[in-house]
Amino acid sequence: QVQLVQSGAEVKKPGASARLSCKASGETFRNNAMHWVRQAPGQGLEWMGWINGGNGNTWNSEKFEGRISITRDTSASTVYLDLYSLRIEDTAVYFCARGFTVVQPAALGYWGQGTLVTVSS
Amino acid sequence: EIVLTQSPVTLSLSPGERATLSCRASQSVNSNYLAWYQQKPGQAPRLLIYGASSRATGIPDRFSGSGSGTDFTLTISRLEPEDFAVYYCQQYRGSPYTFGQGTKLEIK
């Protein structure tokens, strides 16, 4: 049973950075893609980027280029999302999600519970 | 960037009725790379359909997906009370992997 457990809520000031974590259990993520998706209050879903759990290669949405970094620690079965230069409009729930299968790596079959990041002065 | 437009924005139906949700892409999406999700308030989304028409693990067969090219449909054959939620389509043919804006399925 795949389970993704995310770190707790964060409150940050504009310009600050944040590191969110997502620990996988039940099945190694080495053979899977791990994604980050965010959802602003009352809004829809926005894909941010993903990391290949095996080789660590990453692909980020151009919208977030330079402001996010996705990394993984295979020994800890954990994926990280670093957010830089936070803005008020980055206030959102951030979800990690795992690809459904190796052949469907971007169909998001398993989700964490979400981490609320609030950016406020 | 591939833009997905879902319609209708809100769909009001009664339990037992059939629901038809639409997702239109701004450019062709290989049918292998279109998914549907269900999201209830305060919860993470749940994968329903991948590859346009394949049901994910544990998804009841009243949910079905169809379509190709730029037009895709999610059909719920007979609505159960637990089906009232927001539904999103997602394309993963090309980065960024975009979502539609969602269709809210509400009880009439």
A-B contacts (CB, under 8 Å): 57
Q: Note the pLDDT tens digit of each residue in A32-47.
A: 999 999 999 999 999 9
- Give the C-alpha separation, A77 to B35, whole Å: 26
- Assess whether pLDDT exceeds 80 at residue B31: no
For residue A26, what pLDDT is reported? Answer: 80
Section A89-104 average pLDDT: 94
- Give the C-alpha separation, A96 to B58, whole Å: 21
Q: What share of chain A is helix, strand, coil (3-state, %, to 5)?
A: 5, 50, 40
For residue A87, what pLDDT is reported? Answer: 97
For residue A4, what pLDDT is reported? Answer: 96
Q: Which residues pair with B47 in a beta bridge?
A: B37
Section A8-31 average pLDDT: 92
| A33-39 vs A92-99, strand pairing mode | antiparallel
- Assess whether pLDDT exceeds 90 at residue A120: yes
Q: How confident is the model at residue B13 (pLDDT cuts 50, 70, 90)?
A: very high
Contact A109 B57 (CB under 8 A): yes
Cβ neighbours of residue A82 under 8 Å, at least 6 residues apart? A17, A18, A19, A20, A68, A69, A70, A71
Section B36-42 average pLDDT: 97
Lowest mean pLDDT: which of A60-69, B27-36, B49-58, B76-85? Answer: B27-36
For residue A81, what pLDDT is reported? Answer: 98
Please provide the average confidence, as pLDDT, over all residues in chain B: 96
Percent of chain B with pLDDT over 70: 100
CA of B50: which chain A residue's CA is closest?
A107
Nearest Cα of chain A lies from the Cα of B63 at a distance, in angstroms, of: 16
- Assess whether pLDDT exceeds 80 at residue A103: yes
- Give the C-alpha separation, B5 to B27, whole Å: 11
* Residue A9 per-residue DSSP state: P
Instruction: List phi, psi (to 5°) of A21.
Output: -125, 160
Q: Convert chain B into a string of H (helix), E (strand) and C (coil).
A: CCCEEEECCEEEECCCCCEEEEEEEEEEECHHHEEEEEECCCCCCEEEEECCCEECCCCCCCEEEEEEEEEEEEEECCCCHHHCCEEEEEECCCCCCCECCCEEEEEC
For residue A27, what pLDDT is reported? Answer: 75
- Give the C-alpha separation, A41 to A46, whole Å: 12
Length of chain A: 121
Partner residue facing A44 (CB), from B35, B46, B102: B102
For residue B30, what pLDDT is reported? Answer: 80
Section A90-119 average pLDDT: 95
For residue B24, what pLDDT is reported? Answer: 97
Higher pLDDT residue, A65 or B103? B103
Q: How confident is the model at residue B75 (pLDDT cuts 50, 70, 90)?
A: very high
Count of CB atoms situated within 10 Å of the CB of A44: 14
- Give the C-alpha separation, A49 to B12, whole Å: 34
For residue A102, what pLDDT is reported? Answer: 86
Name residue B38's amino acid: Q
